[in-house]
Amino acid sequence: MSALTVDYIIGLLKTYAAQTGDSVDVLLVGAMALQAYGYQAPD
């Protein structure tokens, strides 16, 4: 099984919203939340 990427998930959500006209609420957790808020691990 291949890993999901942020870009792939965003594409799925955009397609769903466009096809249904519904909005999508997303709760980010873990590494995705850290990435979304701009966290960068110290070197």
In a domain, 23, yes or no: yes
Instruction: Enter the pTM of the model.
Output: 0.57
In a domain, 41, yes or no: no
Q: Which residue has the tokens 């792939």?
A: 8
- Report the pLDDT value the prediction gives residue 1, as an integer from 0 to 100: 61
In a domain, 29, yes or no: yes
Per the structure, the count of domains in the chain is: 1
Number of neighbouring beta carbons within 10 Å of residue 13: 13
pLDDT per residue as tens digits for the range 1-43: 677 777 888 899 999 999 999 998 888 778 777 877 777 777 7
Q: What angle do CA 8, 42, 33 make, to 5 degrees?
A: 35
**Residue 26 CB partners (closer than 8 Å, separation 6+):** 13
In a domain, 1, yes or no: no
In a domain, 14, yes or no: yes
In a domain, 26, yes or no: yes
Q: How far apart are CA 9 and CA 1, in angstroms?
A: 15
Q: Which domain holds residue 21?
A: 6-36
